[in-house]
Structure 1
Amino acid sequence: MKFPYKQDVQSDASPNSSKSTEAKSSGLGTFGGVYTPSILTILGVIMYLRFGWVVGNVGLVGTFIIVTLATSITLLTALSVCAIATDRVVRVGGAYYMISRCLGIEVGGAVGISLYFAQALSIALYTIGFAESIVQTFGQLNQTYVALFVTISVAVLALTSAQIAVKAQYLIMGAIVLSLICLFFGPSIPNITPQGWNIPTPTNGQSFWAVFAVFFPAVTGIMSGVSMSGDLRDPSRSIPTGTLAAVGTGYLVYMGLPLIIAMRADTATLLSEPLVMKMMSLWQPAILLGVWGATLSSALGSILAAPRVLQALARDGIFPPWMSFLGRGSGENDEPRIGTWVTLSVAIAAVCIGDLNLIAPVLTMFFLTTYLVLNLSASIEGFLQSPSFRPSFKVHWVLSLLGGIGCLWVMLLINPVATMVAGAIVLAIYFWIQQRELTTTWGDVRRGIWMALLREGIYQIDRVEDTKNWRPNVLVFSGSPSKRWSLIQLANALTHQRGLITVSSVLPSGSRDLAQQTHLENTISENLKKQQVQALVRVVTASDPFEGMLQLVEAYGLGAVVPNTILLGDSEDTNRRDNYCNMIAQLHYANRSVIILRENPQRGFGNYRRIDVWWGGMKANGSLMLLLAYLLHSTIEWRDAQIYLKLVVPNEAGAKDAKANLNAMLAQLRISAVPSVIVADERPFEDILHESSQSADVIFLGMATPNEHNFTEYYEQMHARTANLPTTIYVMAAADFAFGEVLSEGSS
């Protein structure tokens, strides 16, 4: 079977899933596929080795509270799993599949990789624990060899067939049931006073929350059944039924055991004897069988679950292409035998290391992180109420959110350091996957989240801009971006990833239909992303390009969010100068600021070292030009540049006062610029401009506003006066906005 391990990740409905879909008719049922692995993981070694210790520390009532509180968090997580599982077909990968299809491939991959290694290394934890108990009973054996033998044995079972492995779990379940029956009918410990309902007061007892942290992992384990999703006949039915049944069964057992223990043992014995259950069992070896069965069942559940997560990760292209073989399935049931061999290698390496106590807390955090993210997935889906989210098992989003909060609280309670380490690892994997820029053919909730935030934001924004929050929202008429890239560069620098940029092109009428326009927009958008420019793209058609620009300015935007700044290239075509200038006038009358870039083709933006602003006062264009120069200087490319604020005075008499005024203004505005006062001495401004700014990298010049006089004639004169200068930016500020207040905001 071949899978597309490229940047594009396959659809859930792709042909690659047909084989596993056909296998569903002979797949596992609810009892064998979900309930059995889940309940066996829940009824684990903590029940046998720590339950007496829990009762001894907090008493019978305290134990009931701990069991109920811990199970409530697991139940909320199970409800979230049920909601997601009944909304869509859950294929191979279990929790990873659910998370990736909800929160996106980056989040799903980060949690999925962590979950895989947690499950793979857990095999070693369980088999080492099993070996320890065997060696304590049969002292002549070697612990490492026993652990290796058991690890390989459970892997052989998993490699043979998932169904055979599940049948083996029935034997283990039988051993656990036998141990519980023997405990139920067993005697009290002789010569003691049972604890009963009394609350113990041991001198070295643990606090309630410390005991809770030790006990909580005993109620986890529902992922063992969820991870078998690819092997189930009907995942949407089996996962909810089997998971909830396992949680309910575990709760009943955990509420009954403390009652038996407290009525048959005293506090001192409960605190000092880890295998206190053995002392009160009708047949004591049954408890050992239960302990061994619990560890073996957990190891078997992990060796079944981990390769299926690995298979799903590989099929979705999370790993590099050379690792694509991990996604292959074998046999009629599409079993991940290659993934099982890899997982066995990881487990054997961990067994050989032997001491996994350092990483065990982090592995627990990985499992709880999976629970946390599953709860968040269901909570977000329920909150957004997307039409596509229609689970047959409905859960209010608040319950899922409470489950997520509970998981995070327990993580911090159990081990804050391990929580931070696990979180850092998950974040590192997330950023690694994000850098690979994987694309998927399925949707996730991220777009829904942004749409919800956008909707709320649009309705909250007032139509009248305020000076406190002004920033340039630029509409760039660039034509083909590759041919006029300097316009994109300038817009990107001025917005500084705070304002909005829309790159627009006006094409001749009939040159593109709507579908072709959309395709062109997507192509331009992808090219901009490759250049690390965040921008929207809009392509329209019109019989006249200038009319098309005006129509776009008039219609473009969403609610109060409309372009407030129009960025154009200079017009060199004298035959179309009238239409060009008329468009500028119309943009001004529409209360838009207009910026025109006249680029020096030989120099471009020069060395990014010097910005000249020709100052005419705070009113009109002056404030906007100084703002734009400040924004330009704030970027990485221009941060070493020096802003020169240039002012022309007629004679020496006013030069000193003018310079003092400029210094005082700049200090008040908190803008770093060098005031430069130039005495005209009857020289024309054109000569002063060319003499003073010839060495600049970019020049800001204000434009007169259109009036009853001929604006085309004015523009042509300005065009002639600035010929052969470095790159020049003409600025015409919107008439009805106080840019001076943007500069002076907070300076008084």
Structure 2
Amino acid sequence: LGALIIKKGANLGVKALYVVVGVLFISIIMFFLGKTSHAGVSTFSLANAQLRNPQDYFIVFAIIFPAFTGMTAGVGLSGDLAKPSKSIPLGTTLATFTGMIIYFFVVYKLAKSAPAEDLLEHQLIMARIALGGVIIVPLGLAASTISSALGSVMVAPRTLQALAMDKAFPSKKINKWLSEARPKDNEPANASLVTSLIALVFVALGDVNAVASIISMFFMVTYGSLCLISFLNHFGSSPSYRPSFKSKWFISLTGFIIAVWIMFKISTLYALLAFAVIIIIYVYVDHYHKNRKGFASIFENAIFQLNRNLQVLIQRKQSKKADKEWRPSAICISKDSFKRDKAFRLLNWISFKYGFGTYLHQIEGYYSSTSAKQARKELLKLLEQVSAIENHVYIDTLISPSNTSAIAQAIQIPGIAGMENNMVLFEYDKENPTNLDEIIDNFGLVNSGDFDICILASSHRDIHCKNGIHVWINSFDTENSNLMILLSFIIMVHPDWKKGQIQIFNICRPEEVEKTKEAMRDLVITGRLPIHPKNIRLIIQKPDVSAKSIISNHSVNAGLTLIG
């Protein structure tokens, strides 16, 4: 059969199908017209039907499932159809429902016409039921086998040819050879030859049941993948996805779930092997075609749409709440991204688990084609710079003529999580504080928006995280103290700080000791400070010693010092 198709082409196969379908139709009619003595005394009905040996259901399903897949033959022949957008949905739908109806009544006729023992013992029981069954049933079985074979031997080469034309294979010579078609009838002769050889390999295995189970797995992977892609494209809403036949998203999702479930019910081992083979093929092809978006773009579109809808929903819900749980959504604007990375590291620690961070690299100037090109170039450079670390910060560039205008723009944009930014992080170099005046000048601008403000004084020394975080609080400034302690806990969650500890200090004058202790005790009891009093060190300030020198002496080796 393969040799005939290779030599004569699909036209012969299509013509032969008319004869095959005619024989099948006559065979089915003769089967339903047949009568047996058992049918006259049978009490079988759908009301008293029983499911026997349910534990073997999926074994039988795996064996017979490839016989159901003829309904999709039109998909593989889409290139030969005059109007595939209309013919494929209509033909597939009609074939599916027609096949379901015929299979249902065949099963009903078998159950009504023969006892269960005969159905188990005689493989050709249909020949005993049909009119002229001795002749017509073998002819029908042969026609059915030829029909399935013709469908496969016509569809598979065209699929292989389409893959080669799409340059899916890693070799240019293989792609060119498989994509070649015979000039006189446009028949994919080379792809047909490869398909026939693959079929012969599986036939040589000898165990039809095992081969059918393997084929069923790949059919289920194909159907499940198509359903998943349809489902994701529905939510992804890509402008390039405009199917002429639209299905409901819940039907696609149900199809994917059922396909995966059936695969594991048939055989967990075969299911895992099928998934492994498909994933390996995809990863290899994706690596070979790095410039193609592939499956990742479908997930990306779906995630974008999901994120958008979630943000709108969260905004709607949050607007109804008077009291909201605080978590840092910080934004940092810096012109010195390529000189110092301390601000970025601090923002990354804050964003690791509990917070969100947006890092904006400021490019001074007005927006133009030149500055936009520079912004894209520096963004790529920044992303490359942080690619070696575990990054949890969203990075972007901002073109603005001054620091004030950049801050005014930045504090108005929403955070990446959909929630409003509530913290602004500034940074300056302690050894060369040239931009400290700019920070002070813009403090009022940021403060007018009710933002929490952090100013990082960077030094050229390395940050030794194992030395922990020192927090210097004022027990009478409860709001600021609470923020600093909570921020230290948030930072400490990052793996960089796993060997460090939090130490909390409070400075007071000798005459304020008892008053300060009482204030601290009240704060801890009321829960406004998430700490135990034993974790706070009370430092008594002598009259001739400044608070700055006390902090310097106690925190000289600290990894990070928070002062408020």
TM-score range, shorter chain: 0.7 to 0.9
Structure 2 Cα separation of the partners of residues 434 and 627 of structure 1: 48
CA 1:658 to 1:562, structure 2 compared with 1: closer, same or farther past 3 Å? same
Match of 1:225 in 2: 74
Match runs of 1:720-739 below 5 Å = none
AA matched with 1:583: N
Match runs of 1:309-388 below 5 Å = 309=159, 321=170, 325-326=174-175, 328-331=178-181, 347-355=199-207, 361=213, 363-379=215-231, 381=233
Q: 1:669 aligns with which of 530, 538, 561?
A: 530
Runs (5+) with no aligned partner, structure 2: none
Match of 1:188 in 2: 35
Structure 2 Cα separation of the partners of residues 592 and 154 of structure 1: 74
Match runs of 1:105-124 below 5 Å = none
Alpha-carbon contact 1:362-1:421 (below 8 Å) kept: no
Alpha-carbon contact 2:2-2:196 (below 8 Å) kept: no
Structure 1 Cα separation of the partners of residues 351 and 412 of structure 2: 21
Match of 2:266 in 1: 415
Match of 2:424 in 1: 566
Tell me the secondary structure at the aligned position of residue 620 of structure 1: helix
AA matched with 2:52: G
Shift of residue 673, structure 1, vs aligned partner? 10
Alpha-carbon contact 2:165-2:179 (below 8 Å) kept: no
Identity, in percent, stands at: 24
Match of 1:279 in 2: 128
CA-to-aligned-CA distance 1:252-275 (integer Å, 9 cap, x gap): 533553565456434442343222
Structure 1 Cα separation of the partners of residues 32 and 332 of structure 2: 79
Match of 1:700 in 2: 562
Shift of residue 492, structure 1, vs aligned partner? 1.8
Alpha-carbon contact 1:194-1:264 (below 8 Å) kept: no
Structure 2 Cα separation of the partners of residues 218 and 525 of structure 1: 56
Q: Normalization by structure 2: what TM-score?
A: 0.76
Match of 1:254 in 2: 103
Alpha-carbon contact 1:361-1:418 (below 8 Å) kept: no
Alpha-carbon contact 2:394-2:416 (below 8 Å) kept: no
CA 1:507 to 1:302, structure 2 compared with 1: closer, same or farther past 3 Å? same
CA-to-aligned-CA distance 1:316-372 (integer Å, 9 cap, x gap): 6777x4588357511258776666566556555544554475685465344234334
CA 1:626 to 1:634, structure 2 compared with 1: closer, same or farther past 3 Å? same
Tell me the secondary structure at the aligned position of residue 604 of structure 1: coil
Structure 2 Cα separation of the partners of residues 258 and 357 of structure 1: 20
Structure 1 Cα separation of the partners of residues 281 and 540 of structure 2: 60
Tell me the secondary structure at the aligned position of residue 554 of structure 1: coil
Match of 1:238 in 2: 87
Shift of residue 494, structure 1, vs aligned partner? 0.9
Question: Do structure 1's residue 447 and structure 2's residue 305 form an aligned pair?
Answer: no
Structure 2 Cα separation of the partners of residues 598 and 434 of structure 1: 49
CA 1:206 to 1:641, structure 2 compared with 1: closer, same or farther past 3 Å? same
Question: Do structure 1's residue 643 and structure 2's residue 502 form an aligned pair?
Answer: yes
Alpha-carbon contact 2:362-2:400 (below 8 Å) kept: yes
Which sits farther off after the overlay, 153-162 or 590-599?
Answer: 153-162
Alpha-carbon contact 2:470-2:555 (below 8 Å) kept: yes
Tell me the secondary structure at the aligned position of residue 561 of structure 1: coil
Q: 2:380 aligns with which of 523, 539, 546?
A: 523
Question: Do structure 1's residue 288 and structure 2's residue 138 form an aligned pair?
Answer: yes
CA-to-aligned-CA distance 1:501-540 (integer Å, 9 cap, x gap): 3221332333633853774586368547844535444433
Alpha-carbon contact 1:307-1:340 (below 8 Å) kept: yes
Root mean square deviation of aligned Cα: 4.9
Question: Do structure 1's residue 689 and structure 2's residue 551 form an aligned pair?
Answer: yes
CA-to-aligned-CA distance 1:234-260 (integer Å, 9 cap, x gap): 421331232123224324533553565
CA-to-aligned-CA distance 1:90-116 (integer Å, 9 cap, x gap): xxxxxxxxxxxxxxxxxxxxxxxxxxx
Match of 2:444 in 1: 585
Alpha-carbon contact 1:373-1:404 (below 8 Å) kept: yes
Q: 2:52 aligns with which of 205, 217, 220?
A: 205
AA matched with 1:457: Q
Match of 2:358 in 1: 502
Match of 2:24 in 1: 176
Match of 2:480 in 1: 621
Match of 1:15 in 2: none
Tell me the secondary structure at the aligned position of residue 505 of structure 2: strand
Alpha-carbon contact 1:491-1:501 (below 8 Å) kept: yes
Question: Do structure 1's residue 596 and structure 2's residue 455 form an aligned pair?
Answer: yes
Alpha-carbon contact 1:458-1:559 (below 8 Å) kept: no
AA matched with 1:669: P
AA matched with 1:244: T
AA matched with 1:368: M
Match of 2:411 in 1: 553
Structure 2 Cα separation of the partners of residues 423 and 399 of structure 1: 23
Structure 2 Cα separation of the partners of residues 506 and 480 of structure 1: 8
Match of 2:346 in 1: 490
Match runs of 1:75-86 below 5 Å = none
Structure 2 Cα separation of the partners of residues 382 and 158 of structure 1: 40
Alpha-carbon contact 1:642-1:673 (below 8 Å) kept: no
AA matched with 1:612: H
AA matched with 1:450: F
Structure 1 Cα separation of the partners of residues 211 and 510 of structure 2: 79
- How many pairs does the alignment contain? 546
Tell me the secondary structure at the aligned position of residue 507 of structure 1: strand
Runs (5+) with no aligned partner, structure 1: 1-152, 703-748
CA 1:284 to 1:200, structure 2 compared with 1: closer, same or farther past 3 Å? farther
Match of 1:457 in 2: 311
Structure 2 Cα separation of the partners of residues 352 and 368 of structure 1: 23
Match of 2:463 in 1: 605
CA 1:454 to 1:608, structure 2 compared with 1: closer, same or farther past 3 Å? farther
Structure 2 Cα separation of the partners of residues 520 and 650 of structure 1: 54
Match of 1:88 in 2: none
AA matched with 2:555: S
Structure 1 Cα separation of the partners of residues 532 and 189 of structure 2: 66
Structure 2 Cα separation of the partners of residues 584 and 202 of structure 1: 81
Shift of residue 495, structure 1, vs aligned partner? 0.8
AA matched with 2:497: W
Q: 2:148 aligns with which of 289, 298, 313?
A: 298
Which sits farther off after the overlay, 689-698 or 162-171?
Answer: 162-171
Tell me the secondary structure at the aligned position of residue 332 of structure 2: strand
Tell me the secondary structure at the aligned position of residue 89 of structure 2: helix
Tell me the secondary structure at the aligned position of residue 595 of structure 1: strand
Alpha-carbon contact 1:568-1:595 (below 8 Å) kept: yes
CA 1:247 to 1:427, structure 2 compared with 1: closer, same or farther past 3 Å? closer
Shift of residue 182, structure 1, vs aligned partner? 4.6
Structure 2 Cα separation of the partners of residues 431 and 614 of structure 1: 55
AA matched with 1:640: K
Tell me the secondary structure at the aligned position of residue 442 of structure 2: helix
CA 1:517 to 1:464, structure 2 compared with 1: closer, same or farther past 3 Å? farther
Alpha-carbon contact 1:157-1:165 (below 8 Å) kept: yes
CA-to-aligned-CA distance 1:196-222 (integer Å, 9 cap, x gap): 754697999345994997477654443
Structure 1 Cα separation of the partners of residues 384 and 25 of structure 2: 63
Structure 1 Cα separation of the partners of residues 137 and 15 of structure 2: 21
